[in-house]
A = this chain, B = another copy of it.
Amino acid sequence: MKTAQLTVALVQHRCHKTPEENLETLEKGIRSASREGAKLVLLQELHNYPYFCQTEETRFFDLAEAIPGATTERLARLAKELQLVIVASLFERRAAGVYHNTAAVLDTDGSLAGCYRKMHIPDDPGYHEKFYFTPGDLGFTPIDTSIGRLGVLICWDQWYPEAARLMALAGAELLLYPTAIGWDDRDDEAEQRRQFGAWRTIQQAHAIANGLPVLCCNRTGIESTEDGSASIHFWGGSFVAGPQGEILAEAPHNADHVLVTPLDMRHSEEIRRIWPYFRDRQIDAYGDLTLRFRD
């Protein structure tokens, strides 16, 4: 990074009904983070709306917005005013019938530094994202900002070591995951614990495998479908991990929280010197990673 010390922040919150209410909550969180010294703020996935992917309904495409557009312009003004970088997460309308789940990075000069369009799209009960989101076509490409090169990925990407590796190989200095994941309260407590553990562990492992910090901002709160037939208990638990996977800061499960923590960026360099995984990758034997299955 361009500085040895970087203070980062995650804004975890319950989603309100309208973008306006959510943007007000976010702005308060970002201003609070700025007062604590944050120079990089990561927002949670699709922070402007309740998680509409619990059902498949064409009317929800009305929520999609252009990038750049009203939301990125508002956040860009805030980024410039506070002199920090904001990683936002939006439902992008690119054209009729072409919608993406997109992260937009707003730089300290008020510019749109770049976008990442979610590549891995889930489809599971309660998470019908394949209906809404076209897979990204920007690849696993980090975004250069005034504070450094950011490896922005989104939610379901977090389960794929390939995505993290490709970002790190392209020089990403941090990995950032806006996410929206939660429990089905019909699962018992042990299963809920295993799910949360798996989610956190695999992201800590991306930090370890690639020798860099990982930031993950998740939503919190219980959201039900309009007919009340289903709900997701978003598990919060946003966290920041260092390059050994060590948890540096973590938010609670069930409350809005602005999580601010300093990062020592020299630690990544030190770790990569004495645990030199990149040196020893056996790239000649990796060709089959592009196969669906090796059968």
Contacts and interface: CB of A to CB of B under 8 A. Distances in A.
Interface of A: 119-122, 124, 135, 139-140, 156, 159-163, 165-166, 169-171, 194-195, 197-198, 201-202, 204-206, 208-209, 244-246, 274-278, 280-295
Q: What number of copies of this chain does the assembly contain?
A: 2
A122 B278 CA distance: 11
Nearest to A172: B294
Contact of A294 (B169, B201, B287): B169
Given A161-B209, A204-B205, A119 B198 contact: no
A161 B207 CA distance: 12
Contacts of A122: 280
A233 B156 CA distance: 39
Rank and list the top 10 A-B pairs by shortest CB-CB distance, nearest first.
Answer: A205-B205, A161-B161, A170-B294, A169-B294, A194-B244, A198-B244, A202-B205, A198-B208, A202-B208, A119-B282
A156 B209 contact: no
B285 A119 contact: yes
Contacts of A289: 162, 165-166, 169, 283, 286, 289-290
A220 B143 CA distance: 44
